[in-house]
A = this chain, B = another copy of it.
Amino acid sequence: MTIADLDVVAVGNAIVDIIAAAEDTLIEAEGLTKGGMQLVDAARADALYAKMGTAHEISGGSAANTIAGMAALGRKCGFIGQVADDQFGKVFAHDIRAIGVEFTTEVRGEEPPTAQCLIFVTPDGQRTMNTFLGASQFLPAKALDKTMIERAGVLYLEGYLWDPEEPRAAMREAIAIAKNAGRKVAFTLSDNFVISRHGDDFRALLNDGSIDILFANDGEIRTLMGTDDLEAAVAVAAPLVDILVVTRSEEGALAIKDGARYEVAAEPIEKVIDTTGAGDLFAAGFLAGQAEGRSIADSLTMGAICAAEIISHYGPRPEADLRELVAARLG
C-alpha cells in the first residue's frame, strides 16, 4: 500500500478571482443573487466586467483555497484542476505552487481560457460571485494524478465542479481511486444551485458511503436534506458520514461525529471586509486540525480562526501567518 505522505489532495476548479468593491444597487440592477454564485458565459462575463470597478486579481477556486489554507498551516497537499495556456493559468499555477502545493495537472492548450470569477464585494463584506468556468469545466478523468490521490490521506472534492460533465466523471473516478487505496473522501456542497441540480447524486454518494467527511453551510445542508429545519437536516445527514461539519457564518459552526455534537463560535473580528473564501478556509482549518491529530472541537476552532483571517481582507488566500494564529490559541 502506498504511504500517505500527503495530507489532502483536492480536485477543484482552477480559477483566478477578479475582485472589486461594489454597491448593493449594482447587485440589484444586474439581478445577481447576493451572497451566491452563478455561472456565466463569456458574453455575460464581459458585460459584468464592464460594470465592475477597479479590481484585484487573486488566485481562487473553492477547493484550491482550502488547499492553499492547509499549506499555509504547514500541511502537505496536492491539487488537481484544469487551467488553460494563458496568463491567468500561469498565475493560478504559480500561486498554488508558491506555497508548496503539488500541482501537476497538464495545461490545456486550447480554448476556452482559464476560469475567472468576477466577485462583487458589497460594503457589508458579502461576496457575490459570477464564474466563467472556461478551461476548468474540461478537467478530464485522464488528467487525474492517480498516484497523488493514492498518496493522500484525504481526497477533497468541490461540489461546484460536480456541475460540468467531464470533471464529474473525473471526480467519480477519483473517489474510486481513493477508496481502493483505503483513503477518506471529503466533500463540500459548495452552493445551493449545485444541490438543486445534483442533489440526487449527492444523496446517492452519501447513502452508498462514498463520503466520509461532509462540509456544508446551514442553507446547503437544509436544501440537500429537503427541510427548512437545520436540526432535522443534521439528524438525517450525520449518520451517513463519519464527520459532518456545518458552518453557520456569524453563528459559528458545528460538527457531528459518532453521534456526538461539537460547536464553535465564530471568531470575533474587527470588520468583515470580504467573505470570499470563508467556507473554504474553515474547511482548511478543520482538515488541518484533523491531519494534526487534534480533537474535533479543536479542529473546529482552527476552522473558525482561518475563516476569520480570510474575511478580514480582500481575497480568498491567507495573508496572515495562520500557524501563528492557531499556535496563539491552541498551542
Residues of A within 8 A of B (CB): 18, 20, 49-50, 52-59, 68, 86-88, 91, 94-95, 98-99, 113-114, 315, 317
Find chain B residues with CB under 8 A from A59 CB.
54
Q: Is the CB of A57 within 8 A of B54?
A: no
Find chain B residues with CB under 8 A from A94 CB.
49-50, 52, 55
Assembly stoichiometry (copies): 2
In whole Å, how far is A114's beta carbon from the nearest beta carbon of chain B?
8
Find chain B residues with CB under 8 A from A50 CB.
94
Q: Is the CB of A52 within 8 A of B87?
A: no
In whole Å, how far is A277's beta carbon from the nearest beta carbon of chain B?
13
Q: A49-B94, A94-B49 are in contact. Are A68 and B54 (CB under 8 A)?
A: yes
- A55 vs B91: C-alpha distance when bound (angstroms): 8
Query: Of all chain B residues, which has the CB nearest A84?
Result: B87
- A95 vs B19: C-alpha distance when bound (angstroms): 11
Q: Is the CB of B87 within 8 A of A56?
A: no
Of the residues B58, B88, B98, contact of A56 by C-beta under 8 Å: B58
- A53 vs B94: C-alpha distance when bound (angstroms): 8
Q: Is the CB of B87 within 8 A of A113?
A: yes
In whole Å, how far is A118's beta carbon from the nearest beta carbon of chain B?
11
A53, A55, A87: which has the most chain B beta carbons within 10 Å? A87
Query: Of all chain B residues, which has the CB nearest A19?
Result: B56
Contacts A/B (CB < 8 Å), 27 sampled: A18-B91, A20-B98, A49-B94, A50-B94, A52-B94, A52-B98, A53-B98, A53-B99, A54-B68, A54-B95, A54-B98, A54-B99, A54-B317, A55-B91, A55-B94, A55-B95, A55-B98, A56-B57, A56-B58, A56-B315, A57-B57, A57-B58, A86-B86, A86-B87, A87-B88, A87-B113, A87-B114
- A186 vs B150: C-alpha distance when bound (angstroms): 62
- A54 vs B88: C-alpha distance when bound (angstroms): 13
In whole Å, how far is A92's beta carbon from the nearest beta carbon of chain B?
11
In whole Å, how far is A64's beta carbon from the nearest beta carbon of chain B?
11
Query: Of all chain B residues, which has the CB nearest A95?
Result: B54
16 further contact pairs, Cβ within 8 A, besides A53-B98, A54-B59, A55-B91: A50-B94, A52-B94, A53-B99, A54-B95, A54-B98, A54-B317, A55-B98, A56-B56, A56-B58, A56-B315, A57-B57, A57-B58, A57-B91, A87-B88, A87-B113, A87-B114
- A113 vs B68: C-alpha distance when bound (angstroms): 28
A56, A68, A95: which has the most chain B beta carbons within 10 Å? A56
Find chain B residues with CB under 8 A from A317 CB.
54
Which 9 pairs show the lowest CB-CB distances between chains A and B? A57-B57, A87-B87, A54-B95, A54-B98, A53-B98, A87-B88, A56-B58, A56-B56, A54-B317
In whole Å, how far is A17's beta carbon from the nearest beta carbon of chain B?
10
Find chain B residues with CB under 8 A from A98 CB.
20, 52-55
Find chain B residues with CB under 8 A from A18 CB.
91
